[in-house]
Chain A
Amino acid sequence: MQVQGYMYPNEYELAWSILIVVYPYITGLVAGAFILASLERVFHVEAVKPTYRLALLTALAFLLVAPLPLQLHLGHPERSFEMYLTPHRTSAMAMFGFVYLWYLMAVLVLEIWLDYRRDIVLLSQRTRGWRRAIYRALTLGSSNISAGALAVDERAGYIVTVVGIPSALLLHGYVGFIFGSVKANPWWSSPLMPVVFIFSAMVSGIAAVLLIYMFTTWVRKRALDMRCLDTIARYLLYTFLIDFSLEMLDLVHRIYEANESFRSLDFMVHTRLYLSQIVIQIYIGTLLPLALLGLVQVIKLGATARKRIYACAGSLALVGIFAMRWNVVIGGQLFSKSFLGYTTYKLAFATREGLLPAILLMLLPLPILWGLTKLLPPWPEREAEPAGENRAATLSL
């Protein structure tokens, strides 16, 4: 263990591993993807409509994986249900189970079901065999897709989305609060932390949906909707600017205030976190994508160039936000609470909390998303399906 200076003897070992980096990263993607979806539904940004359903399914795929890193990290995962049975009301973490369930069942699944209900009913009639059984089950016994029923769905979906926006902010803001409320740790303790987490979540979620939309369109050999892409990229730029400004505000405040922990934190940023914070998070993961996205706003570029820039900026943004999570979680444990010493994080590979499970957990939402898109196709072309077939299905009810 490479320890420099003096650490309290129980501090040599980091309590939270890379899995706790992965957890806020994944919930951030969920919250961000949902906010992007709500742009169309609530704020009537019609341009992003092609990604609406894809964003919802992306959010669901990542949300299903979100508790897994926590479960893997717990010393006694078999006791995690105790958080539901006997939650400790003063604990920020005790809320996790409830916020998670609320967001999963009352917001995301409900909204997806309401939005897809018509499709599910039609698919339950059009398909055969086990697929038919699945779709019939998904209708939950409600096969009325008359204009009146669909209008009710639309209205209910709107209400769920309106409720969903603060819920998405709560989901990720509360993750920020878990860190921001730890007064023992000056690296974390900040009222800005939940706000920074929310905006960084939006950045990562929007970037993820942007990339998934580009990739799936390319795989399906369809043309990208450039108006949609430009709009998403513009929102990515706006949220990124707010996120970066907040983080800089936090940084400037710390530098100017320079309290007792400053020397310790400053040393860390210039040594152990230099690569992950200054180089990867700020230069490569923030300033570079901001410059790229800003460039598109000031220079008139062709569609191909814009696509490449968006793909590049989106990927860099995802790297930058991951680095931000890393610097918060791991960085916050590298210095002693005595402010007199520093330790190192040794990342194992194929252990319970090593790099391998972290990579697998990061990749797991992708096959889940693939499965979801097979089950509930989110592609805009569904609108172009034969009208006669639709009508026949509706009439047959």
Chain B
Amino acid sequence: MNLTRRQCLLLLLPAAAAGWEALQAGAPERAPNYDKTQHWWGMLLDISKCIGCGNCVRACAAENQVPPGYFRTWVERYRVRDEDMPYPQVDSPDGGMHGFPPIPADGMKEFFVPKMCNHCADSPCTQVCPVGATFITPDGVVLVDKEYCLGCRYCIQACPYGCRFFNPVTHTAEKCTLCYHRITKGLTTACCEACPTGARQLVDLKNPNDPIHAFLRTHNVAVLKPYLATGAKVFYNDLDGSVR
């Protein structure tokens, strides 16, 4: 049987696609012996790079089956008048999942702020959980044990960042897991993977070779609500003073 070049390509293309998929799916094999004690996870969110496309919100919802109307991560659009910094105008339609409707330029400072669980080292949500269903892993990720959570919602009240919600299906508290099922297999989080500009980057604070150390040394980086001393590990580059 003689194959033309076109026929050959048509046959090889699906095989190549399947191969590429397998290559990607095979990535977890890069870290078969994950050691929790060797990591201390956090996230770098670069406000100057965020374009408010909502890819991260959609990726998170798809990856984690987040119920509609609730958000493990969301994006806010800030609009700040120069003389009114304490009272910015903020919107986040559908958590920024589908981007933002354009607003005619009116001279206001405008930027996007991705939000998510700060995986605080001294997290108030972990502190208040009456049964320890919320806990921090040895590698610094705050998780909720759905099989143990009473659904009392004290943690939702205790989170200063509004990152938790009550899952109406499981009747338990829920929040960002930093894609723990992925990062322990050597992958990055769904939101980081989906971000087209690299505004979101998973960082390992225990890894001396992680570029985050140089970044923290050379940039103006801040965390949200530092006065609450929660030990937040989500760092914001270029964080405006108006952001709450």
Contact = CB atoms under 8 A, between A and B. Distances in A.
Interface of B: 70-71, 74, 76, 86-92, 94-95, 115, 124, 126-132, 148-154, 156-166, 170-172, 228, 244
A76 B151 contact: yes
Contacts, number: 123
A86 to B, nearest CB: 6
Given A73-B152, A93-B154, A83 B164 contact: no
Interface in A323-362: 332-333, 336-340
B164 A10 contact: yes
Nearest to A185: B157
A46 interface: no
Contacts of A93: 128, 130, 152, 154
Given A75-B151, A76-B151, A338 B244 contact: yes
Nearest to A8: B162
Contacts of A70: 152
B128 A83 contact: no
B76 to A, nearest CB: 8
B92 A91 contact: no
A184 B228 contact: yes
Contacts of A181: 128
A83 B162 contact: no
8 contacts: A9-B162, A15-B166, A16-B153, A74-B150, A75-B166, A91-B127, A184-B160, A340-B88
Nearest to B86: A260
Contacts of B91: 6
A340 B150 contact: no
A91 B129 contact: yes
A96 B131 CA distance: 11
Interface of A: 6-11, 13, 15-16, 70, 73-77, 79-80, 82-83, 86-88, 90-94, 96, 178, 181-185, 260, 332-333, 336-340
Contacts of B170: 75
A60 B26 CA distance: 63
Contact of B128 (A92, A332, A337): A92
B208 to A, nearest CB: 31
Contacts of A90: 126-128
B161 A79 contact: no
Contacts of B244: 337-340
Among all A-B residue pairs, the 3 with the closest Cβ atoms: A75-B151, A8-B162, A75-B171
B45 to A, nearest CB: 16
B148 A82 contact: yes
Contacts of A77: 150
A184 B166 contact: no
A46 B202 CA distance: 70
